[in-house]
Amino acid sequence: MKKFKNGLIRLLLFFLKKGENPYFRDRPKILLATTTALGDTLWSTPGIVALRKSFPLASIGVLTSSIGMELLKNNPDIDDLYLLKEPTLFHFFSLRKKLLNKRYNIALLFHASQRLTLPLIASIGASEIISTDGKNKGLETLCTKTTPDADHEITRREQILEAIQCDMSDKSLRYFPTSDEIIQAENLFEEMHIDKEMPFVIIHPGAKDSYKCWPTKNYIVLGNRFKKEKPVQILIGWGPGEKELAVEIASQIEDALILPEPLSLRVYAALIKLSDLLITNDTGPMHLACALKKPVIAIFAPTKPKNCGPLNVPTAITLARPRTCTPCLRRSCYEPFCLRQISVDEILSAAAKILS
């Protein structure tokens, strides 16, 4: 099936592919593709900064997902954002027309889960198309160059940039909340009667993948131990599909607050910016805290922080354990034993260092 799909794609490109767009080194038109989840998008932000520093006169566009549009829409280093929706022929040709009009001549494929992303880019005439070897669903021949894989996702993107002599000396994640979003978060403080004289701790117990979640009972014990050992105000945060879990935990922690309604991604990020500490799993809010330079305790297992955890982030404390099962069941796991190895005491100790 994979060979059949790729064969159809190559046939389509035979009819669609344009002549190459030449470029001047000091004024390139660069299209960057990052069309997956929250963490993947934020891992691309050091690369966007590096591109702007290396090519200050460049036109930089980003092809991204709906969540990427939210994360990047206030980024000062981006000239144009393009939304890649669920692939349909109409959307493919409509988006292709926009990209053709811009005449991009360098395309950097940082990360994409949709099979049509690379063929779309290959059809617009970029003279350089660069990605990571083995990350393109068997369509590597559509690239002009591929770079080796790397341990950490940020390092992998750095290697793609090196292929166009772009230096990523700063690997810090970037996120830019607006003043209106900060005001909305401050209004939430007032509505929930949060005591600003006490440390404000957000516990986010959920994750897109349940196998990444520290046990629910541990979060309950953690919250109650916090209340006994240190005066803190605890808020249980939640995202799509996580409210039931958050309610269960908040109801068993003395005086714990819970978000009364779902927040937009950007307002939740502003709330994290106002916090003193975020405690969470390997999930999106962890990356937001790193990008906002806010203290975060990140709980890892079975995923590996050396691949997807905070990279040289002084405000982050990572608690990790190796996988206990071979092979790891990942999304089929209903009882993540490896996460049980991380104790409440460890998290309280790490929190004490931060809040002191």
Would you list the domain boundaries of the chain?
2-162, 179-355
- pTM, to two decimals: 0.91
Per-residue pLDDT of the chain (356 residues; tens, 9 = 90+): 665 555 555 555 555 665 566 655 678 999 999 999 999 999 999 999 999 999 999 999 999 999 999 999 999 999 999 999 876 778 889 999 999 999 999 999 999 878 889 999 999 989 999 999 999 888 899 999 999 999 999 999 999 999 999 999 999 999 999 999 999 999 999 999 988 889 999 999 999 989 999 999 999 999 999 989 988 999 999 999 999 999 999 999 999 999 988 999 999 999 999 999 999 999 999 999 999 999 999 999 999 999 999 999 999 999 999 888 878 877 777 778 889 999 999 999 999 999 98
Q: Do domains 2-162 and 179-355 have the same CATH topology?
A: yes
**What are the CB-based long-range contacts (under 8 Å, 24+) for 156-162?**
156/132, 157/43, 157/44, 157/46, 157/47, 157/110, 158/46, 158/47, 159/132, 160/47, 160/108, 160/109, 160/110, 160/130, 160/131, 160/132, 161/47, 161/50, 161/51, 161/108
Q: In CATH, what number does 179-355 get?
A: 3.40.50.2000
Q: Which two tokens stand for residue 64?
A: 């991204």
Q: Which two tokens stand for residue 15?
A: 């009819």
Q: In CATH, what number does 2-162 get?
A: 3.40.50.2000
φ/ψ (deg, to 5) at 350? -65, -40
